[in-house]
Amino acid sequence: MTLTDTRRDADSQPHRRRGFIPDLDYADLAARIENGETAEPAKLSRIGIGLARWRNTHRDDPDADATSSDGSGAGAPQGKHRAADPDWRSALATTADGARGAGGGRMTSVPAPIEYEASSVQLCGLNPWAIGAAAPNSGTIVGQHAVTGEAVACDPFAYFRDNHIANPSMFVLSLPGLGKSSLIRKVLLGATAWGQTPIVAGDIKAEYVALTTMLGGQVVTLGHGGGHLNPLAAGTLGHAVVRLRTARTDAAAAGDTARVEHLGELLGTAELTVRTRQVNAVCALVELIRYDTHSVRAFENSIIGIALDELYSAGGGFDYANPPLIRDLYQRIDTGSEAMLRATYQTTRGGYRTHITELMQALGALISGPLGTIFADHTSQPLDLDAPMICIDVSSLDRGDTTLKAAVMLSCWADAYGTVEAAHLLADAGLDRQRLFLLALDELWQVIGAGPGMVARVNEISRLNRTDATGLLMITHTGRDLETLPTEADIKTAKGFIDRAGMVVCGGLPIGEVERLSGELKFTTAEQDMVTSWSRGAALRSAERRTARSPIGRGKFLIKVAKDNTPGIPIQTVFTDLEIDSGVHNTNARFADYFDTAAPTAADDTAAGPVLR
C-alpha cells in the first residue's frame, strides 16, 4: 500500500476547502462581477467569504481569470488580468499547516493564555466590583449601600466580632448638619436592641436626651439649676463593694472557702479602685482650678488620701452608702492629724497650715461659687446599671465657663467609667451578667478641649476599651479640631485617636480636610471626589418652588475599616417610620417655626417694592 499526501490534493480542489461552496463556479462569479453583470455578495456571507478565499488563492496565478474553476475556460476575457483585491476585501488563505503568508505556518502546540491573579483591591479598576467587598450586614443596620442598595450595618461590636476591625471603636468625621449625630443615634439605638448599654457621659448639646427618654433610659441633668455630683461618692462601684461584702458573708456562712477567698480578692481590688478614683477626682478638680501650674504636689496628693482614709475609718462616720462631701474633706484636712503632719514633713501646726494654704484655697472653690452649685452636695441621681441607656445632660452649663465645663466633664467620665468597672466586678464575682458598654463622645473637640486632663482620659479609654469590653464612639467635625489643643503633647495624643480607631466613618468633608487626613487614611480618587461632593449644600432653586431640597451629602457616609487603600463602603442612612414620627433625629427644633413659615407670594411683595425674579 502506498501512502499519498492527501493535503496537497485537498489544497488543489477548492470545493474541498473550508468556506467554499462545492457547486459554485467562483471563477465565473468573479468574471461576472468584474463585468458588472452581477452584484458583489455580502462580505460576511458564505458566498462572499468563499469568493474572497478563491481570489486570494488565485491572486498570483496569471491564468486564473481566464480559466474557470472547472477548466472549461469560461471566465474573464482572454488576456485581461484581474486587479488585486482591496485591503478591506482581502482574507488570509488557510491550509492544513495554518495561515498562508508572513507569520503563518504550522504550530505544533497552542500555548495557554497568561493568567494573572490579584485581589479586588489591586484590580478594583479592572473588574466590575470597584467598590470592594460586599457590605457587612451583621449588627445594627443603619441604611443602604449608596451604589448597590444593599442593606449595610455599622456596628463596632459586630465588626470586631467578625474580625473586620481590631478593636470596637469608631471615629466619625463630618461637617455640621450632614447627619453624623443621627448616624450615632441609630448605632446607639441598635446597641440597646443587642443588649448593650450606651452611655453618653456629657451630652453638651442635649442631642441624645430624646432618644434616651424614648428608650426608657436614665437622663441625669447637671448644670445651673440642675442636679449635683459628689466627686467623693463611690457611685455604682461603691454599691458593688457592698454587694461583694454581702456575698462574702453568705459564702462564709455556707462554708465555701474557695468562694470566700475569691470574693476577698475582688473586694480588695474594688476598695483600692474606689479610693484611687476618689483621690484622682479631687486632684483633677484642683488642677483645673489652678490656672497657672495645673499640678498637684506629691504631699497634697498624700494629704487627700490620708483624709479620705480617716473619713471612711470606723470613727469617721462615713461609708460607701453614706459618702462624705467636699466640705467634710475640707474640714478634715483643716483639722489635720499626725499622719498629715508627717506627709508635709512638719512638726508644728503653723508650719502645716502654711503648706496646705493653696490646697485649701482650691478645695474652697469647690464648695462655693459656680463650682459649688454642682459639687457641694450629694449626687442627685446615681447612675443605674439596669437602665437601657444612660445620658448625662450638661447642656445647661455656661459655654463660656471653660473651668466649670471641664470640671463637670471630668467628673462625668469618672462616674461613667466607674459604672463600667462596677459591672465587670459584679460579673467576675458571679453576681450579675457580663455587660457590654458603648461610650459616645459627641462634639469631641469640646470634650478634649475642656481641660488638660480630658485628652489623657480619652486616650486611656481608647487604648483599653477592648480589655474593658467597652466600645467607643468619637465624633467631631474635622481633623483640624484635634490641632486646636493648648499643648503640643495633647495635639500629638489626640491625632492618635484616628490611628487607633477600629473604623473611621467620613461624611462630607472639604478637599483640604481629605488631603490633611491622607497621613492617617488612604482615599482613592473616586472616594475623594465622593466625600468632597457631599460637602456641598442643596442646589440653588427659585423662591417660587416650595419644595425644599436637602444637601446632597446629608446622611451619606464612607465607612473605612482599614487605614490602607482598601476601598470604603459608601452608605446612605435610612430612618424608620418610628424614628421619623418621634422626631428623635430633629436637631433643628428651634427653627421649626421659621421652616414652617410660607415664603411670601408675588402679591404680598408688591407693597414692599419690586421683586427680583
User: What pLDDT band is residue 485 in, cutting at 50, 70 and 90?
Assistant: confident
- Distance from C-alpha of 575 to C-alpha of 402, rounded to nearest angstrom: 36
What pLDDT shows up at residue 52? 85
What pLDDT shows up at residue 127? 57
Neighbouring C-beta atoms of residue 138, cutoff 10 Å:
13
- Distance from C-alpha of 422 to C-alpha of 386, rounded to nearest angstrom: 12
First and final C-alpha spacing in the chain = 103
Section 458-482 average pLDDT? 78
Give the three cell numbers for residue 443: 462634639
Highest mean pLDDT: which of 248-252, 410-414, 448-452, 546-550? Answer: 248-252
Is the whole model's pTM more than 0.75, yes or no?
A: no
What pLDDT shows up at residue 77? 43
Q: Is 24 left (phi over 0), alpha (psi -120 to 50) or beta?
A: beta
Give Cα 272 distance to the centre of its chain: 36
Phi, psi of 170 (to 5 degrees): -145, 135
- Distance from C-alpha of 418 to C-alpha of 239, rounded to nearest angstrom: 11
In tens, the pLDDT along 216-270 reads 999 999 877 778 889 998 888 888 998 999 999 999 999 999 999 999 999 998 8
- Distance from C-alpha of 29 to C-alpha of 32, rounded to nearest angstrom: 5
In tens, the pLDDT along 561-587 reads 887 778 889 999 999 888 888 888 877
**Cα dihedral: 381, 385, 390, 393 (round 10):** 20
∠ CA 215-470-497, nearest 5°, is 110
| Helix H or strand E encompassing 219 | strand 218-221
Section 416-433 average pLDDT? 89
The contacts of residue 53 (CB under 8 Å, 6+ apart) are 17, 19, 20, 91, 93, 94
- Distance from C-alpha of 177 to C-alpha of 536, rounded to nearest angstrom: 11
In tens, the pLDDT along 8-22 reads 444 444 444 555 566
Coil/strand/helix, residue 570:
strand
Section 72-99 average pLDDT? 53
The contacts of residue 499 (CB under 8 Å, 6+ apart) are 520, 563
What pLDDT shows up at residue 131? 47
- Has residue 605 got a pLDDT over 50? no
Coil/strand/helix, residue 121:
coil
The three-state (H, E, C) secondary structure of 179-240, written as one string: CHHHHHHHHHHHHHHCCCEEEEEEECCCCCHHHHHHCCCEEEEECCCCECCCCCCCHHHHHH
Q: How crowded is the C-beta side of 591, counted as CA atoms within 13 Å?
A: 4
User: What pLDDT band is residue 94 in, cutting at 50, 70 and 90?
Assistant: low
Section 299-328 average pLDDT? 90
- Has residue 156 got a pLDDT over 60? yes
In tens, the pLDDT along 444-457 reads 777 777 666 678 76
Section 384-400 average pLDDT? 87
User: What pLDDT band is residue 183 in, cutting at 50, 70 and 90?
Assistant: very high
**597/348: higher pLDDT:** 348
What pLDDT shows up at residue 452? 63
- Distance from C-alpha of 375 to C-alpha of 365, rounded to nearest angstrom: 10
Least confident range of 93-107, 190-204, 394-408, 437-451: 93-107
User: What pLDDT band is residue 70 in, cutting at 50, 70 and 90?
Assistant: very low
Section 479-496 average pLDDT? 78
Give the three cell numbers for residue 508: 462630607
What pLDDT shows up at residue 469? 83
User: What pLDDT band is residue 613 in, cutting at 50, 70 and 90?
Assistant: very low
What pLDDT shows up at residue 602? 40
Which residues is 219 bridged to in the sheet? 391
- Has residue 399 got a pLDDT over 90? no
User: What pLDDT band is residue 97 in, cutting at 50, 70 and 90?
Assistant: low
In this structure, the strands spanning 556-560 and 390-393 are: unpaired
- Distance from C-alpha of 323 to C-alpha of 63, rounded to nearest angstrom: 121
Q: What is the DSSP string of 497-546?
A: HHHH-SEEEE-S--HHHHHHGGGT----HHHHHHHHHTTS-PPP--TT--
% of the chain exceeding 90 in pLDDT? 25
Of 462, 392, 421, the C-alpha closest to 223 is 392
Phi, psi of 269 (to 5 degrees): -65, -40
Section 302-321 average pLDDT? 89
What pLDDT shows up at residue 295? 77
**542/95: higher pLDDT:** 95
Specify the amino acid at residue 611: V
Specify the amino acid at residue 201: A
What pLDDT shows up at residue 540? 60
Highest mean pLDDT: which of 173-182, 287-296, 591-600? Answer: 173-182
| Helix H or strand E encompassing 263 | helix 257-289
**145/517: higher pLDDT:** 145
What pLDDT shows up at residue 136? 81
- Distance from C-alpha of 45 to C-alpha of 478, rounded to nearest angstrom: 66
Of 160, 219, 182, the C-alpha closest to 442 is 182
| Helix H or strand E encompassing 153 | strand 151-153
What does each C-alpha distance from 471 to 342, 347, 461 come to in angstroms? Answer: 44, 50, 9
- Has residue 467 got a pLDDT over 70? yes
Of 518, 508, 499, 521, the C-alpha closest to 478 is 508
Section 280-298 average pLDDT? 80
In tens, the pLDDT along 34-66 reads 888 888 888 888 888 888 888 887 765 555 444
- Distance from C-alpha of 200 to C-alpha of 172, rounded to nearest angstrom: 15
